[in-house]
Structure formats: structure tokens, C-alpha cells
Chains A and B, each alone.
Chain A
Amino acid sequence: MKKEIRIVGFGGQGIILAGVILGEAATRAGHWAVQTQSYGPESRGGGARSEVVISSDPIDYPRVRRADVVVALSQEGYEKYGREPGIPTVVVDSDLVEAETVQSLPFTKTAEEVGHKIVSNIVMVGYLGALLDVVPHELLEETVLANIPEGTEELNARALAAGRVLYENHAG
């Protein structure tokens, strides 16, 4: 089993944290995982890219070679990374990206509905967790809760669950 995931957007959207959570959850589930990222020197804004490789075997090259999933949370990110031919699954945030022929999902809107748009990255993690199907939801939730600030557990748990529901309602 090998899954290569690439999440792109701009600084401040929490996409690196999303990658860390996916990688850590995969490790807790007994898989091999590597999480990497790229970002510029700007303290706000700027492009950001988070990559996770999950595998049943030890991983040599730590980056995405052939993405299984690309999630774009910014127009620029989508233009740069979401348009390569042959990516099996491309997902964009419907509030942030205009794109044809890809899955467009309301991560930001869903986050607002569960309480705050700041957890849109966790909604996305919930969605990805269901899509990838390599980590049980409980383990993913445990990992989310270990990586978010004290006092925000309920909000994040709701966001994660809402993301999973998004997948179940949009699958196929």
C-alpha cells in the first residue's frame, strides 16, 4: 500500500498541520509515513505545500513522486499543482478555488458551520482520512486532539467528523 498526498495553499491555512496529523496518524496505525513541507520566508501568506507519503514499506524518496491525491486550497496552488494530467483525485475548496472537472468541496463553509473557519484544515483532514481509508477514524481523531490547542477539542472533533461526512455524501 502506498499513498502519496499533496496539499497546497498559502501560509496560515494550517496545511502543514494537516500533513503532520495525517503522517502521525498513519504512523500510529502501524504504517510507514513521511511528512514534508515547503514554504517561503514570509511570516504571513506566501505559497505553502505539505506532502505526506504513507506506505506499508519503509519509504526512500520522501516526497510525492506521483500524487494519488492533490488538495488545493488556493487558486495559485491549484494552477501550479492541480492541473498535471493523470492525478487520480484532485480536490479543491469550493470557496477558495475556481476549477473545472475536479471535486469542489466546501471545507471552509463546513468549518464555519461547525463553529469557525479556522478549522477548515481539520475538515479537510476528515475528508482525506475517509478518502484514503488507511487510518481508522478514532485513531485520526486521537491524533488531531494531540495536535491542537487545549480548549479546542470539541470544535476540532466536530470539524473532523464533518469532513468525514463530506466524503460520505460526495463519494463517487
Chain B
Amino acid sequence: MPVEFDPHRVVQVLGQTETFAQGDVACAYGALLGGCDFFAGYPITPATEVAEAMARLLPRIGGAVLQMEDEIASLSAVIGAAWAGSRAMTATSGPGFSLMQENIGYACMTETPCVIVNVQRSGPSTGQPTEPSQGDMLQARWGTHGDHEIIALAPASVQECVDLTRDAFDLAEKYRNPVLVMTDGEVGHMRERVRLPAADELEIRPRGEPTTSPEEYVPFLAVKGGQIPEMANFGTGYHTYVTGLTHDERGLPATDDATTHSRLVRRLCQKISSDVDTLTRVERDDEDGATVGIVSYGISARSAAGAIRILRGEGERLNHLRLIGVFPFPEKAVQDFAEGLDRIVVPELNLGQICHLVREAVNGTAKIELVPKIGGEILTPDEIIQAVKHGGESV
């Protein structure tokens, strides 16, 4: 049975409201604050500390933690728990994330709320297990096959590990979709001051029961003219046939009907894509008269902020757009940001992933320049300063 959210118990279990914690552990704090009561996972550097923290904390609020045999089973368990009514989460890194892709698609297709933390490490393959990267960003969007949408958040600090993981649960419930928290080995393992909310600042909207009776319930028919059907937990008297096959509103397979497939998949995509304005989450820092801007996300935003501080100290004018929500991609916010700029510099710990989406959104009104870095060290402010002064790689 899922655990009813008890803010006082959560706060008591988490202990001090001000603490010096590492990002991975902060994700666990955020999960509890977001109402998580089920975690299934498999150890992998640099994400293991998330599982360890969940194992320490979740049972104390009455939740359950399982170490599964692998990452495929971990996400399977999470999906099962979600259908039993739990707010469920797993955490992994690149190689595990690759294993989870089929189940991510299954969760999209079956409209199963779930949260997946990916503490990105240097790849591809086994790569540099103890070193950070931002190499899984496009995989986050398109790792699983077929047309689908994904919500992905990119924490740039230990505090954001708390806050964004917490938010991920409400988003997963609202949109009935997997939500990814894309951190990295640097943010995951670094320690910073963190402030945890008091009990009276905590509230979650419980899933509740559908507004229709079990006899009248149509599992995948959105009620009240929306795009998102009400979810009914297993064991509550409502019956839902859950399949990854193309299905009709009753949940029953309907694979030979092009119209049904189209209606389903378009709805699955539109329920998120049409809400991109609500889901857009960016932080913008402009200076009058700037003609160069930086678009950054995650740990690279910290390097970019350092570069901007130093450059502004030298009298240079730069604008900065930090993407907190990376998917659905905030096209309009990026287009808006590009207005009046000649050049946009995109620093990433990969060989160029989000820069292509920036280029697509900007559509020629500014030149996009990449500052790529791989090998395990995060970008230094000086590397970004070099690119701003002398040009980055053309995209």
C-alpha cells in the first residue's frame, strides 16, 4: 500500500533544516519531500549514494526500498509500484540509463508517473565511471524508440538537487509521464549548503481516485476536456488493462487501427508539448547592450556564471540564459533570448548536444558557438572566457 504523505514525519526523518550535503543525497531529500514512498535501484557510480540515502531514509517514513538485479528490473519495479499508488523513483548513471530506455518508453505509452535520476558520467559505454559529463542529454529526449515526450530537469547545485527532484514527483503525477532529473557526477558528489523546507511548507496533491465510478471509468479517456486521463490504482476496484501495445481509450489493444494509434500517440505527446509554456523553467540574466549571450544548463552553468562574473568585472557585457527545464525544450525562451544578440555560446560537457536545439530555435538570428569539453574535468571559467573572446566551435 502506498504511504500517505506526512510532512511532519518527513521533516523529522530528514533532520536538520540547514545542512552541508552532497548532490546525490540531496536528491534523496528531495524525493522524500516530494512524497516518494518507493525506490528500486541498482548501484552504479556516481549514483549509488542516492540509493544508499534512500535505503537509510525511506523505510523511516514507511516507504520501501528494493535493490533489484539490474537497472531494467529497477525501472520495472518502479512502474509496478506506481500502479499500486506509490510515488516511485530510481537513480542511475549512463550505462544503467541505457538499460532503462525500453521501460521509459513503456512508462510513456502506459502513462505511468515515475521519476528517474541520471547522475551522468563520462561515456560512452563504461567510460570514466568516476568522472562527470553531460553526455546523455539527447538520449534523455530520444533514448527510447518512437514518438514520445519527456520532461527533464537539470540541477546546477545541491539545493536544486533537492528542489527539482521534489518537483519531479508532482510533474510526473500531473502529466502521467516519466520525469528525468539529469544531474552529473560533479553535482552529485559535490557538497554545498542546503536548506530543507519546514513541515508547513510541504504539500503534495495526492493522486486520489478517479471522479467517475468504477463502472463508468474509461482508463485512457481524458475527462473534463483535457489531455490527461485520471489514474486508478490497482486494488481499488477500478480495472485498467495496461499494455505497451497501441490501445484504445479502454486500454485494450487496437494495433490494426491507424486512427486509434494516431489519436493515442498524438495525445501522449501533446499533453506535454502543448504545455511547454507552463513547463518552461529558465533563469535569465541580461545586461543592456550585450551582443553575446551564453545558454547553459546543469554544472556547466556554474562554470558559465564564473566566466560571466569575471568578464563583467572586466567591463564586458554578456547575457546568460540558464535552462533549468531542458525538455520539453524551451524554444520560445531561447528565441526570445537570442533577440539582439550576434553570438550565443553554449558550454557543455559533451561534444555538442543541446547546442543543436539552441541553433534550431534561434534559426539564424545569431551565430551559435559550442564550448565542448569531455574527459572528466568540468569546464573552467577561463575556457568559456576564451571562447567568448576568441570564438567557440561553430555549430
Contact = CB atoms under 8 A, between A and B. Distances in A.
Given A41-B129, A65-B381, 16 more contacts: A24-B20, A33-B20, A34-B191, A35-B190, A35-B191, A36-B190, A38-B131, A39-B130, A40-B130, A59-B192, A60-B306, A61-B306, A61-B307, A62-B190, A62-B302, A63-B378
B194 to A, nearest CB: 9
Interface of A: 20, 23-24, 27-28, 32-41, 59-63, 65
A86 to B, nearest CB: 14
B189 A37 contact: yes
Indicate the member of B190, B191, B299, B376 with the most A CB atoms within 10 Å: B191
Contact of A65 (B129, B305, B306): B306
Interface residues on B, range: 20 to 34
A63 B130 contact: no
A148 to B, nearest CB: 16
Contacts of A23: 20, 191
Contacts, number: 60
Nearest to B186: A36
Contacts of A41: 45, 128-130
B303 A61 contact: yes
A28 to B, nearest CB: 8
User: Which 5 interchain pairs have the tightest Cβ spacing?
Assistant: A61-B306, A60-B305, A24-B20, A35-B191, A60-B306
B191 A63 contact: no
Contacts of A35: 20, 190-192
Interface in B342-395: 376-378, 380-382
A61 B377 CA distance: 12
B237 to A, nearest CB: 50
B192 A34 contact: yes
Contacts of B332: none
A37 B187 CA distance: 11
Nearest to A66: B382
B60 interface: no
B130 A60 contact: no
A65 B376 contact: no
A60 B186 contact: no
11 contacts: A20-B20, A23-B20, A27-B193, A32-B193, A33-B192, A34-B192, A35-B20, A36-B191, A40-B130, A60-B302, A61-B380
Interface in B303-325: 303, 305-307, 309
